[in-house]
Structure 1
Amino acid sequence: ISYSSFKHLADVYVRKEVTAQGPEMSPEELQFAFAVHLTAKVAGICNHAVNRIMGFGTQYLQDTFVQFSYSK
């Protein structure tokens, strides 16, 4: 798995899950939470080293949620 594959998977998963949720949380909080959740799930089922997948998750959060991740 490459970072671009992980990013595509995360974008699709986060978009699908946020769309299915109600408006009780801000969209940014939901997106952030689902991105973290996906990273943990992929790290648990993937044959790659966990630290590589966690690195992809960290990079994705930094690329996608720059302002949000530092303010929270």
Structure 2
Amino acid sequence: MPNRESENTSTLTPEQRLTPASFDVLRACIVTISDVETVRECVAYENAHQNRKPILRRLAQRASELRAKEDGAVDLCE
């Protein structure tokens, strides 16, 4: 049985992920990113549009978390 939640979040465009005005919703959209390529797309979108430093920092943090998982490192924050 497919996981609908991950299916729905993986189909969001960078614009859909980064448009919400609420920082809490933005944070949730970033946390649900499941691959580094999507993070890169979101960084490119953010750089081209609003260039918000806190959002770019969160995206960098998410990319770091994903790379650590790919490398098999233990994430102490979870």
TM-score between both structures, scaled by the size of structure 1: 0.34
By percentage of residues, which structure has more helix? 1
Q: Which has the higher contact order (CA 8 A, sep 6+)?
A: 1
TM-score between both structures, scaled by the size of structure 2: 0.33
